[in-house]
Structure 1
Amino acid sequence: MNAVTEKKPRLTTSAMIASIAGEGQRVKAAPFGKALSELAGKSSEIVGLTADLAKYTDLHLFAQAFPERYFQMGMAEQLLMAAAGGFAKEGLVPFATTYAAFGTRRAYDFIHQVIAEENLNVKICCALPGLTTGYGPSHVATEDLAMMRGIPGMTVIDPCDALDIEQAVPQIAAFNGPVYMRLLRGNVPLVLDEYDYKFELGKAKVLRGGRDVLIISTGIMTMRALEAAASLQADSVDVSVLHVPTIKPLDEATLLAEGQRTGRLVVVAENHSTVGGLAEAVAGTFLRAGVAPRFRQISLPDKFLDAGALPTLHDRYGISTNAVVASIKEWLA
């Protein structure tokens, strides 16, 4: 053996609560916690529950403002969802928060049977959606959209940024029925205010037009799509971005109107497994309507993902801005 061992660079994993914002990017702190607290000041029916994760879902701001309406359920996600259903039966509007991996995988049957089957007015808001933590399969929720889409009557939302979250909170509170919303917490990027955007429950919005490529995106991938579109513009590739914050019910009218425009490559981009998310929902919508554009998908693979630093993982699994640009250039070649 060689007596001199070369030192390899140490791979640092991202913090569980690390922001997904890029260096120098505009952010807003705790948009969910602030929006919910503001709304609760106007509506005494709102209560907040969590499974030992108030600080890491920004619900601690609500707890400080309304301690009598805040309920800490401990590390018991099934109890969290059952209690939320009970509050809803009493006419309250419960917001239940935890991590997406725990809220969906550990509590699925309780959401399905206690909340959704009775169409109870529970708002489930789950942090660390998709690949937004580097902690590996125990915390990475790559299948949450597929699971929640499969529940009858469940509304499913994947916001892009702080503005999306701020505007979604009062709308899902006013909506009568169960809602699952992916949650970005901490210092959340602010992107959509530059596009004269307003969140509307159930509506998709064209953020920019383009003749060569249509990116249909949701969640943080809309941010990546806008960055990729700006980069591709320098190479004379004209990219349109259609943001789909509501995964279920889909805005099929807008999707079909944009998808059937001839001559464009259609790319669906999502921070979710290739199985059961937005891309398959869009493809099904196109197929049923007889719309058949050139279709590609940017998503996470159907596998258990590695642990590591988020920028490294986003490059590895194809959802970084550079990876999106590279994929589109390859498909257009």
Structure 2
Amino acid sequence: MSKRATREALGDEMLQLGEERKDIYIIDCDVSKSCKTQAFAAKYPEQHVNAGISEQNAVGMAAGLATTGKVPFVVTYAVFGSMRAVEQIRQEVCYPRLNVKILCSHGGLTPANDGASHQCIEDMGILRTIPQMTVIMPADYTSARKLIRAAAEYEGAVYLRFTRDAVEDIYDISDDFTIGRANCLQAGNDLTIFANGDTVAIALEAVKALAKEGIHAALYDMHTIKPLDEECVKSAIINSGKIITVEDHNIINGLGSAVCEMAAELGHGIVKRIGVQDHFGESAPYEELLRMNGITWENIYHTAHQLLEM
């Protein structure tokens, strides 16, 4: 399979949306080269604002544009767009229910050699606790473009997270995506794996390895962690009761926590969480950082065997 960073989709889809809709605006935080919005700025300068290295101001500008009927997209790095601007996102976007989108590249461990200061492992957990916020991480280039377009049509605040590094292409252009609805990549009754973002391709390798042994694991791309696809999660908990979650995010308060909350409420099922092990990152190649945190197909495979032996 070919590999592309999902931030490439950010640039390509926003360029397409800018051509189709004059109500679409980008508020850049001086990282247009990294976030791939330079072409948009060059082609549609009247729909582009560079707020500089000032994420709080960018969110405020976006909120103001939203009150006039525009559909603004704040574009920056995940570590800054989620945490430096979190007060403004809460107070100026979510509380008044404004139609602002936050598009953030460099999510999770994909900043790799940039180190802990740029590796954002807390963002989805922080933002999913804010009322009226929708939180999404696409799995590949194609799904990223489709979910950006879905966000543009969605009324309300949306946070979308993208990778700096290239990830494997999984989906075909004909595949459909709905905010809040998981995509089933593999059916199975023995156990269920929920993954999102760059970990979906990794989980898919584990599912293939398990299938060779006659173990049928279901795999869902849980691209939206808020609102979570509750019916999908409930069905998995009731049917197999054996769940693995995989995410490029702290195992606390991300996808794994969201699934565990539902299992606790149902009083049924066992959930094993694979993800960043509640510590800061460090400078290293992306694949090595994943390995250090057990975010590998081999660990998913062994965790599945452990679950099935319980």
TM-score range, shorter-chain basis?
A: over 0.9
Measured against aligned partners, the alpha-carbon deviations of 1:239-280 in whole angstroms (never above 9, x if no partner) come to 210111111111111211122113x52111111101111111
- TM-score (ref. length: structure 2): 0.93
Give the equivalent residue in structure 2 for 1:295.
271
Mapped partners of 2:162, 2:5: distance in 1: 14
Check the 8 A contact 1:31/1:185 in 2, yes or no. Answer: no
Q: Does 1:175 align with 2:151?
A: no
Matched, 1:136 2:115: yes
Which blocks of at least 5 consecutive residues in structure 2 are unaligned? none
Deviation at 1:26, TM superposition (A): 4.2
Count of paired positions: 307
Does residue 190 of structure 1 match 2:169? yes
Partner residue of 1:164?
Answer: 143
Which range moves more in the overlay, 225-234 or 136-145?
Answer: 225-234
- Cα offset for 1:326? 3.4
Provide the C-alpha distance between the structure 2 equivalents of 1:329 and 1:286, rounded to a whole number of angstroms.
Answer: 20
Q: Which amino acid aligns with 1:234?
A: K
CA separation of 1:198 and 1:185: change in aligned 2, threshold 3 A? farther
- Give the aligned partner of residue 14 of structure 1: none
1:308 counterpart residue number: 284
1:114–1:139 CA distance, 2 compared to 1 (3 A): same
In structure 2, what residue type is equivalent to 1:322? E
1:155 pairs with 2:134: yes
1:255–1:184 CA distance, 2 compared to 1 (3 A) = same
From 202, 208, 211, give the equivalent of 2:186: 208
Contact 1:47 1:70 (8 Å CA) reproduced: yes
Evaluate the alpha carbon distance shift between residue 37 and residue 192 of structure 1 in structure 2; reply closer, same or farther with a 3 A threshold. Answer: same
Cα deviation for residue 331 of structure 1 reads 4.0
1:234 counterpart = 2:212? yes
1:326 to 294, 297, 302: 302
Q: Secondary structure at the match of 2:20?
A: coil
Residue type at the aligned position of 1:122: V
Distance 1:130 1:28 in 2: 13
Sequence identity of aligned pairs in percent?
30
Instruction: Determine the C-alpha separation between the residues in 2 that align with 1:223 and 1:293.
Output: 25
AA partner of residue 288 (structure 1):
E
CA distance in 2, matches of 1:133, 1:80: 22
| Distance (whole Å) between structure 2 residues aligned to residue 73 and residue 232 of structure 1 | 49
Q: Determine if contact 2:78/2:120 at 8 Å carries over to the other structure.
A: yes
- Alignment-mate amino acid for residue 308 of structure 1: A
Relative to total residues, which structure has the larger helix share, 1 or 2?
A: 2
**Contact residue 184 and residue 221 of structure 2 kept, 8 A:** yes
Alignment of 1:1-333 (within 5 A): 25-27=2-4, 30-134=8-112, 135-184=114-163, 187=166, 189-193=168-172, 197-262=175-240, 265-290=242-267, 292-333=268-309
In the alignment, is the contact (CA less than 8 A) between 1:58 and 1:186 conserved in 2? no
SS state of the match for residue 88, structure 1? helix
**Deviation for aligned residue 1:330:** 4.2
Residue aligned with 2:75, SS:
strand
Spell out, residue by residue over 1:202-228, the C-alpha distance to the aligned partner (whole angstroms, 9 max, x if none).
111221112322101111111211111
3-state SS in 1 of match to 2:12 = helix
In structure 2, how many angstroms separate the alpha carbons of the residues matched to 1:314 and 1:109? 30
Which residue identity does 2:257 align to in structure 1? E
The residue number in structure 2 matching 1:5 is none
Corresponding letter in the other structure for 2:252: V
Whether the aligned pair in 1 keeps the contact of 2:170 and 2:201 (CA below 8 Å) is yes
1:315 is displaced (CA, Å) by: 0.6
Tell me which amino acid in the other structure corresponds to 2:2. Answer: Q
Structure 1 spans left out of the alignment, 5+ residues? 1-23
Write out the 4+ residue segments of structure 1 that deviate beyond 6 Å after TM superposition.
none
Post-superposition offset of 1:33 = 1.3
Q: Indicate if the aligned counterparts of 1:315 and 1:322 stay in contact, CA closer than 8 A.
A: no
State how far apart, in whole Å, the 2-side matches of 1:123 and 1:266 are. Answer: 31
SS of the residue 1:192 aligns to? coil
1:314 & 1:188 partners in 2: Cα distance?
Answer: 13
